[in-house]
Amino acid sequence: MSNPDQSHMKQDCETKRECMQLLQLIVDGEATHEQTTDFLSNHLEHCMPCYKTYHLEMAIRQLLKLKCISQAPPELVDTIKAKVIQNLAD
Amino acid sequence: MYNFAYRLTLDQDDSKDLVQDTYMKAYRFIDSFQQGTNAKAWLFRILKNSFINDYRKKSKEPSKVDYQEVESYYNSDEVDRQITPDLRVEALKDMIGDEISNALNSLDVDFRTVIILCDLEGFKYDEMAKILDIPIGTVRSRLHRARNLLKEKLSEYAKQMGYKTA
């Protein structure tokens, strides 16, 4: 995404409630392609609160993915494999 | 699967047992799996149900009744107004330790669950609705509250780290 000239952005969003709902759909990939491109190109670059919220939401998701995923211990995988094989043999 | 189990139980041994139980149940009830549907969502649903039935009872998690009170509280407009995302991206960039993990773990299990399923596992709203047996509208609102609570927690950490919140 481009880096908009922040001095020309509006500081208040008059459609905040609707925008927050749409933003949630966009970050979750549940908005339509039209909704997403329209919002990102026509609203976000001009509206400071929405711009900030969007980038904050994306940053939180990135951090979650980076910090909150732990891999299964290898012995667990082995145990489950062994049990399934045993079940198949029964 | 393991990550979901771990985030639910917050205990390594419990999460191993839970994942094993889930696979054994899936194996036993393979006939109830509808061909052509999402196998991952089906497994997650089994895991979630096992957690509620077998683990939640033993643990000190608040009872269902308590939870309903929590939800009606968080659904009130007052709370919506209180929660302002005054957290900044720069502060997040400095959270290189366990801050976000601790913040996530501190949330009530139902709020924690929707964040894991959506943000970490990439499930769609309709899949989450099936996994959790709740309507899509509830998925959306619960996710919204959960993220606000997470942001609140993160801005507490940001304050402790010396960031001024606007």
Note the pLDDT tens digit of each residue in B122-134: 999 999 999 999 9
Same domain flag for B120 and B145: yes
Phi, psi of A2 (to 5 degrees): -70, 170
Same domain flag for B53 and B76: no
Q: How far apart are CA A27 and CA A20, in angstroms?
A: 11
Same domain flag for B109 and B38: no
Query: Where among B60, B78, B105 does a domain terminate?
Result: B60
Local confidence band at B156 (pLDDT 50, 70, 90 cut-offs): confident
If phi > 0 it is left, if psi is from -120 to 50 it is alpha, else beta; for residue B133 that is left
CATH of the domain at B101: 1.10.10.10
Local confidence band at B164 (pLDDT 50, 70, 90 cut-offs): low
Stronger pLDDT, A56 or B84, i.e. the higher one: A56
Domain ranges of chain A: 6-89
Contact A67 B98 (CB under 8 A): yes
- Span B107-133, average pLDDT: 94
Contact A45, A2 (CB under 8 A): yes
Task: Please report the residues numbered 45 through 84 in chain B whose beta carbons come closer than 8 angstroms to any beta carbon of chain A.
Answer: none
Same domain flag for B110 and B154: yes
Same domain flag for B93 and B157: yes
- The total number of structural domains in chain B stands at 2
Same domain flag for B68 and B51: no
Same domain flag for B36 and B23: yes
- Span B60-83, average pLDDT: 49
Q: Helices marked H in chain A — which ranges? A: 16-27, 33-42, 48-67, 74-89
> Choosing among B23, B111, B128, B153, which should be mutated to test the A contact, i.e. which has the most A CBs within 10 A?
B23
Is the model's pLDDT at A62 over the cut of 60? yes
Percentage of residues in chain A having pLDDT higher than 90: 29
Same domain flag for B34 and B82: no
- Span B81-108, average pLDDT: 77
Range of the domain at B138: 62-166
Same domain flag for B53 and B97: no
Q: How far apart are CA B20 and CA A82, in angstroms?
A: 11
Q: How far apart are CA B16 and CA B55, in angstroms?
A: 12
Instruction: Give the position of tokens 């990439």.
Output: B122
pLDDT score, position B61: 52
Dump pLDDT digits (tens) for B2-39.
999 999 999 889 999 999 999 999 988 888 888 888 99
Q: Helices marked H in chain B — which ranges? A: 2-9, 12-28, 39-50, 64-75, 77-82, 89-93, 99-106, 109-115, 125-132, 136-160
Picking from B1, B100, B140, the nearest residue to A64 by CB comes out as B100
pLDDT score, position B66: 47
Q: How far apart are CA B137 and CA B142, in angstroms?
A: 8
Judged on CB neighbours under 10 Å (0-12, 13-18, 19+), A25 is: middle
Same domain flag for B115 and B158: yes
Local confidence band at B79 (pLDDT 50, 70, 90 cut-offs): very low
Contact B106, B117 (CB under 8 A): no
- Span B46-68, average pLDDT: 69
Q: Is B43 within 8 Å of chain A by CB?
A: no
Nearest to B120 by CA among A21, A68, A75, A19: A68
Contact A87 B93 (CB under 8 A): no
Query: Where among B42, B60, B78 does a domain terminate?
Result: B60
Judged on CB neighbours under 10 Å (0-12, 13-18, 19+), B93 is: exposed
Picking from A67, A70, A76, the nearest residue to B100 by CB comes out as A67
Q: How far apart are CA A71 and CA A58, in angstroms?
A: 23
Is the model's pLDDT at B165 over the cut of 70? no
pLDDT score, position B118: 96
Same domain flag for B47 and B74: no
Percentage of residues in chain B having pLDDT higher than 70: 80
Q: Is B120 within 8 Å of chain A by CB?
A: yes
- Span B136-140, average pLDDT: 92
Picking from A52, A63, A87, the nearest residue to B100 by CB comes out as A63
Query: Where among B21, B44, B60 does a domain terminate?
Result: B60
Residues of B in contact with A71 (CB under 8 A): 2-3
Contact B2 A60 (CB under 8 A): no
Q: Average model confidence (pLDDT) for chain B?
A: 82
Residues of A in contact with B3 (CB under 8 A): 68-72
- Span A57-64, average pLDDT: 91
Q: How far apart are CA B107 and CA B114, in angstroms?
A: 11
Same domain flag for B87 and B46: no
Contact B109, B14 (CB under 8 A): no
Q: Distance (Å) from the C-alpha of residue A42 to the closest C-alpha of chain B? A: 22
